[in-house]
């Protein structure tokens, strides 16, 4: 092919990319804020995955097929709707949610906060199959509306936790892991045939606490006693008319009937969607102004190096903290943590940056669904820790180990020749098992790290090491349990954390603040021109892919401060 042909191809590709970029700006309306008509209602469709921060850039959201819902965007839209005189009502379309109880509780608190303005909130449900989390959210609204043919299935929380030891035995695979201590159960499903006493005690405690909160809150909002609600949950299935008669829902409407229901006079009512309303600038409504507070998001498994979307790279988070620390216009920091942990070293790197920042300005932790193990490590030194009652946190413990595939390789006919220089060069090899001496060596190593962990917790939380050890040992606590044990200060969400940061910074409660948010948004043009890390292309939304990405991040790390990946109460 001639050189001129290559040049033409490159020019053609460039023209196509520029065309796609221009199209995205025009089609998705990036630019001029939308007009909001008087007598409008804000419609938010809650379905599927809800991340802390959505894929940066609206075009990338649509182009890559990733979810656009984020806790930050929902929170900001509801904050705007509260003070926007043009918005009269909030309509939440609720479908199956792929997030845990902490996020659902915070969404619920957002709706209840919206209602304090005197405006109404409505939950609309087409059908509700295994809908306990979603129903818990719906009960925050003034009215719950179900499609006339819809079924309401609320049947409690819980399920099955699988154990694979027998399967691994059949395959000839042995999981060899050491942990500190008995509640550190991240790999129990591979090393045990069922619950150990400590594992069972911890899991029952978590689920019973979550169910108790769920039962109490929906009974309170629906004007029933707990016994009545428990009976309805045990019944499980409730068809349209039956759901209304039992008091689980208020109305049975088609969607057009809901719109008519919203009308309080003969004036036309207008809808504005979540995505369009997100383009309304907070400053146009008197928000997002005043002194600066940094809002740093720490999401996903923790590992050394640069992070990519929905993982927490220690280099990336550290760089953000340094920028915040050196910026004199930023008066306080809110660190939003949603992480099951990961590399102990990476967690300690982030902890160090938080400690240095704390010396210059207030630092407040806002815990989301989960902030345990390494996720607690990076949180423990803050001035204040705020969590949800259902946040999973604690898990102060360490583990290490490997899978021994020696017998598995024999079954496959795989052979290997040993060639090592150094007595323990093949310590983590999958071609042999650990010796008793090596297992003790690993246990001593993680015990040393565990001692450092509880020492830092004790210092950060103003506790004695012995006290921390008693509530540590790898045990996971819900947020409300953690508060009772001194690991968390207060219950609340992002709004509570911002208020706490303002107070610590000496900013009056009634004063507005401007949030400097990290990670910054990334446009398609940024990625095209290489101005931002293109690693946002390494995305996944399914639980399976998130777990695989966690393993990929941690595959070179031998010591983990990691929670069980399967703890996801449904």
Does 85 have pLDDT greater than 60? yes
Q: Average pLDDT, whole number, for the chain?
A: 88
Does 525 have pLDDT greater than 90? no
- Measure the CA–CA gap between 407 and 412, rounded to whole angstroms: 9
Query: pLDDT for 290-308, tens place per residue?
Result: 999 999 999 999 999 998 7
- Fold category of 37-155+236-283 in CATH: 2-enoyl-CoA Hydratase; Chain A, domain 1 (3.90.226)
Give the range among 18-32, 214-228, 343-357 with minimum mean pLDDT: 18-32
**So what's the pLDDT on residue 1?**
55
Active site residue 212: no
Indicate if 289-399+446-562 has the same CATH topology as 37-155+236-283. yes
**So what's the pLDDT on residue 560?**
74
What average pLDDT score do residues 370-393 get?
98
Whole-angstrom CA distances from 315 to 158, 302, 327, 526 are: 37, 11, 18, 21
**So what's the pLDDT on residue 39?**
94
Query: pLDDT for 233-252, tens place per residue?
Result: 999 999 999 999 999 999 99
**So what's the pLDDT on residue 384?**
98
- Confidence label for 77 from pLDDT (cuts 50, 70 and 90): very high
Does 529 have pLDDT greater than 90? no
**So what's the pLDDT on residue 556?**
53
Give the pairing type, strands 513-518 and 291-299. Answer: parallel
| pTM for this model (two decimals) | 0.89
Does 563 have pLDDT greater than 70? yes
**So what's the pLDDT on residue 549?**
52
Does 558 have pLDDT greater than 80? no
**So what's the pLDDT on residue 542?**
46
Does 385 have pLDDT greater than 90? yes
Domain ranges of the chain: 1-32, 37-155+236-283, 289-399+446-562
Query: pLDDT for 494-505, tens place per residue?
Result: 999 999 999 999
Give the range among 9-18, 228-237, 419-428 with minimum mean pLDDT: 9-18
Does 528 have pLDDT greater than 60? no
Residue of 70, 373, 395, 549 with catalytic role? 373
Alpha helices in 223-270 (DSSP H): 226-235, 240-245, 255-262
Per the model's pLDDT, the better-predicted residue between 384 and 186 turns out to be 384
Does 541 have pLDDT greater than 80? no
Does 471 have pLDDT greater than 60? yes
Does 190 have pLDDT greater than 90? yes
Q: Are 474 and 179 in contact (CB under 8 A)?
A: yes
Per the model's pLDDT, the better-predicted residue between 61 and 508 turns out to be 508
Per the model's pLDDT, the better-predicted residue between 56 and 380 turns out to be 380
Q: Can you say whether residue 84 is alpha, beta or left, with left for phi > 0 and alpha for psi between -120 and 50 degrees?
A: beta
Chain-centre distance for alpha carbon 300:
7
Query: pLDDT for 356-367, tens place per residue?
Result: 999 999 999 999
Residue 210 C-beta-side C-alpha neighbours within 13 Å: 28
**So what's the pLDDT on residue 473?**
96
What average pLDDT score do residues 382-408 get?
97
Does 277 have pLDDT greater than 80? yes
Structure tokens at 391: 């946040």
What average pLDDT score do residues 324-353 get?
97
What's the CATH code, domain 289-399+446-562? Answer: 3.90.226.10
What average pLDDT score do residues 335-356 get?
97
Give the range among 134-138, 264-268, 524-528 with minimum mean pLDDT: 524-528
What average pLDDT score do residues 421-441 get?
95
The percentage of residues in the chain with a pLDDT greater than 90, rounded to a whole number, is 78
Q: Which residues contact 356 (CB under 8 A, 6 or more apart)?
A: 321, 325
Whole-angstrom CA distances from 319 to 169, 178, 323, 325, 561 are: 45, 33, 6, 10, 22
Give the range among 182-196, 385-399, 509-523 with minimum mean pLDDT: 509-523
The backbone torsions φ and ψ at residue 234, rounded to the nearest 5 degrees and listed phi first, read -65, -30
- Measure the CA–CA gap between 270 and 132, rounded to whole angstroms: 31
Does 319 have pLDDT greater than 90? yes
What average pLDDT score do residues 443-461 get?
97
């Amino acid at each position: 092919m001639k050189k001129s042909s290559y040049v033409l191809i490159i020019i053609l590709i460039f023209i196509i990319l520029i065309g796609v970029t221009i199209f995205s700006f025009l089609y998705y309306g990036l630019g001029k804020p939308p007009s909001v008509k008087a007598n409008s209602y804000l419609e938010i469709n809650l379905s599927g995955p809800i991340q802390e921060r959505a894929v940066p850039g609206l075009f990338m959201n649509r182009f890559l097929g990733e979810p656009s819902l984020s806790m930050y965007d929902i929170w900001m839209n509801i904050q705007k709707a509260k003070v926007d005189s043009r918005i009269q009502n909030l309509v939440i379309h609720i479908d199956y949610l792929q997030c845990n109880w902490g996020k659902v509780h915070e969404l619920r608190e957002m709706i209840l906060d919206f209602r304090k303005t005197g405006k109404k909130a409505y939950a609309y449900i087409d059908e509700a199959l295994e809908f306990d989390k979603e129903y818990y959210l719906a009960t925050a609204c003034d009215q719950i509306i179900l499609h006339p043919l819809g079924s309401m299935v609320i049947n409690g929380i819980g399920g099955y936790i699988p154990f694979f030891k027998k399967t691994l035995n059949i395959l000839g695979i042995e999981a060899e892991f050491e942990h500190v201590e008995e509640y550190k159960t991240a790999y129990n499903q591979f090393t045990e045939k069922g619950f150990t006493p400590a594992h069972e005690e911890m899991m029952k405690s978590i689920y019973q606490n979550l169910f108790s909160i769920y039962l109490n809150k929906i009974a309170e909002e629906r004007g029933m006693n707990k016994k009545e609600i428990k009976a309805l949950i045990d019944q499980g299935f409730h068809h349209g008319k039956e759901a209304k008669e039992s008091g689980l829902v208020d109305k049975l409407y088609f969607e057009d009937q809901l719109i008519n229901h919203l009308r309080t006079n003969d004036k036309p009512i207008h809808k504005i969607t979540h995505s369009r309303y997100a383009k309304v600038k907070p400053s146009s409504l008197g928000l997002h102004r005043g002194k600066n507070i940094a809002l740093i998001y720490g999401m996903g498994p923790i590992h050394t190096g640069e992070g990519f979307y929905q993982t927490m790279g220690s280099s990336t988070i550290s760089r953000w903290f340094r920028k915040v620390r050196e910026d004199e216009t930023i008066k306080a920091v809110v660190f939003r943590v949603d992480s099951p942990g990961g590399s102990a070293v990476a967690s300690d790197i982030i902890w160090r940056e938080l400690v240095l920042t704390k010396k210059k300005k207030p630092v407040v932790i806002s815990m989301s669904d989960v902030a345990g193990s390494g996720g607690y490590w990076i949180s423990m030194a803050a001035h204040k820790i705020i969590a949800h009652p259902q946040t999973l946190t604690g898990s102060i413990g360490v583990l290490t180990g490997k899978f021994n595939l020696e017998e598995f390789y024999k079954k496959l006919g795989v052979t290997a020749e040993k060639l090592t220089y150094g007595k323990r060069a093949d310590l983590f090899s999958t071609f042999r098992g650990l010796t008793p001496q090596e297992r003790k060596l690993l246990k001593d190593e993680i015990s040393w790290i565990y001692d450092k962990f509880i020492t830092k917790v004790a210092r950060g939380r103003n506790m004695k090491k012995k006290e921390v050890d008693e509530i540590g040992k790898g045990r996971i606590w819900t947020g409300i349990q953690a508060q009772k044990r001194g690991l968390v200060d207060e219950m609340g969400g992002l709004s509570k954390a911002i208020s706490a940061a303002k107070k610590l910074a000496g900013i009056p409660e009634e004063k507005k603040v401007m949030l400097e948010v990290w990670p910054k948004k990334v446009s398609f043009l940024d990625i095209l021109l290489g101005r931002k890390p293109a690693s946002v292309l390494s995305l996944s939304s399914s639980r399976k892919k998130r777990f695989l990405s966690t393993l990929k991040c941690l595959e070179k790390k031998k010591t983990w401060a990691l929670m069980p990946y399967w703890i996801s109460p449904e």
